[in-house]
């Protein structure tokens, strides 16, 4: 596992491109289970994805994705614009966040 920077720890994200990050964004990575934080607590995947978009996507990326939604882009196309796999299970992006 890559060492987390202070900013990543504070932001609630694993290092970008790490196996944990890739798995949480739906791109696979090594191992099949959803990762846990170093303290052993479970990662809220939906919150992780929201934090990813807020932290790592520029305003232009987000505006392009919103424009894609307005113009009828497919779900997978919009997810890719935001750095999330188009193969991400619909159960994740439609799950209720508590």
pLDDT one-digit tens code per residue, 50-94: 999 999 999 999 999 999 999 999 999 999 999 999 988 777 655
| CB atoms near residue 48 (< 10 Å) | 20
pLDDT: which is higher, 45 or 88: 45
Contacts 24+ apart (CB under 8 A), 35-44: 38/4, 44/97
Residues 6+ away with beta carbon under 8 Å from 18: 1, 2, 29
Q: How confident is the model at residue 9 (pLDDT cuts 50, 70, 90)?
A: low
Report pTM.
Answer: 0.78
Give pLDDT, residue 8. 58
């Amino acid at each position: 596992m890559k060492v987390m920077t202070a900013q990543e720890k504070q932001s609630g994200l694993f290092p970008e491109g790490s196996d944990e990050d890739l798995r949480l964004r739906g791109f696979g990575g090594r191992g099949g289970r959803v990762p846990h934080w170093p303290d052993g607590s479970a990662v809220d995947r939906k919150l992780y994805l929201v934090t990813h978009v807020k932290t790592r996507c520029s305003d232009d990326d987000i505006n392009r994705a919103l424009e894609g939604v307005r113009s009828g882009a497919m779900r997978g196309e919009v997810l890719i614009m935001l750095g999330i796999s188009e193969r991400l299970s619909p159960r994740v992006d439609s799950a209720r966040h508590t």
